[in-house]
Amino acid sequence: MTMVTLGAVAGHFGRDLERGLDKALGLIEAAVRDGVDLLVFPDAALGGYLGDLRSPALDDLPPALDPNSPQIAALIAAAGPVTVCVGYAEAAGDLRYNTAVCLSGDGVLGTHRKVHQPAGEHLAYAAGDVFGAFDTPVGRLGMLIDYDKTFPESARSLALDGATVIAALSAWPASVTDRSARLPADRQSRLFDLYDCARAAENQVFVVSSNQTGVQGELRFLGQAKVVGPGGDILATTRSKGGLAVATVDVEAEIVRARRVLDHLAERRTDTYLLESPSRTR
């Protein structure tokens, strides 16, 4: 039996890059001290997110970092034995990507560029084009960035690539068209939890889901960081407040147990599924 401690951060990380870095370093230091094995920060934890999804101000974008930036190097130096996932705006030549990086004291373990873009995000970021898992000290892991988890194919691709843990990093706001006075009653609040649990249950994997809190421009973020087990059950959650959702589990044993009778990946019928909408003729 190999127990690992999975942690998902809910917190406010704004445009002040150095303040966000200091906050992240403090949380990593606490994770090292407390024996957390995987620490998942929100999307855009380094430099903040957009202030408006529909019409982002292109003259006021988050700072874009080179993957070899001093900020990423500082996280690697601090991480030690902890596997850390964190989101930032990646500078890539003339393009920028909404990117997540997974790292430890050994260096960068994997990266993911957000594939699915909501509303006007494409005006600020280029889109990634691949989902892939990679090996880490906590097992084979894959990453999603907020809107990616809306699409079942995203998490399924990672599970088929052997991921037993999916880190879902988000800067997920309350509804921008039908905002509720109370965050727990917001339509997006319900969907955020639903997607986390569904992606875990349908693939029989762990989902470690982080999210921003607070306000950035016109966006009010939901929090609701959580750890979800392979049966779709929420093992720990911050609800709408900032904090750390932590669960200690035996990842491999729990997945074996979940798949003992019904193994969703093995029992797929790929010959029956539509991959594209059929053309409609009359």
Residue 82 has pLDDT above 70, yes or no: yes
Residue 279's pLDDT band (cuts 50, 70, 90): confident
Amino acid identity of 182? R
Q: How far apart are CA 175 and CA 168, in angstroms?
A: 19
Rounded mean pLDDT, 84-109: 98
Which of 252, 166, 248, 177 is CA-nearest to residue 201? Answer: 166
Other CB atoms within 10 Å distance of the CB of residue 46: 26
Tens digit of pLDDT for each residue in 154-188?
A: 999 999 999 999 999 999 999 988 878 788 889 99
Residue 282 has pLDDT above 60, yes or no: no
Q: How far apart are CA 128 and CA 97, in angstroms?
A: 7
CB 98 within 8 A of CB 89: yes
Residue 203 has pLDDT above 80, yes or no: yes
> Within its chain, how far is the Cα of 189 from the centroid?
16
The reported pLDDT for the residue numbered 184 is 85
| Two structure tokens written together for 144 | 């999603």
CB 46 within 8 A of CB 86: yes
Query: Cβ neighbours of residue 245 under 8 Å, at least 6 residues apart?
Result: 7, 8, 10, 225, 226, 227, 236, 237, 238
Pairing mode, strands 234-237 and 107-113: unpaired
Tens digit of pLDDT for each residue in 205-242?
A: 999 999 999 999 999 999 999 999 999 999 999 999 99
Tens digit of pLDDT for each residue in 12-64?
A: 999 999 999 999 999 999 999 999 999 999 999 999 999 999 999 999 999 99
The reported pLDDT for the residue numbered 91 is 98
Q: What is the mean pLDDT of the chain?
A: 96
DSSP E strands, the chain: 4-11, 38-40, 64-65, 83-92, 95-104, 107-113, 134-136, 139-145, 165-169, 206-209, 211-212, 215-216, 219-220, 226-228, 234-237, 243-249
CB 233 within 8 A of CB 206: no
The reported pLDDT for the residue numbered 1 is 67
Q: Give Cα separations from 5 to 86, 138, 173, 186 (angstroms).
A: 17, 9, 27, 30
Residue 280 has pLDDT above 70, yes or no: no
CB 181 within 8 A of CB 192: no
Query: Cβ neighbours of residue 16 under 8 Å, at least 6 residues apart?
Result: 48
Q: How far apart are CA 120 and CA 137, in angstroms?
A: 37
CB 43 within 8 A of CB 171: yes
Enumerate the H helices of the chain as residue ranges: 17-34, 70-79, 152-160, 187-203, 251-258
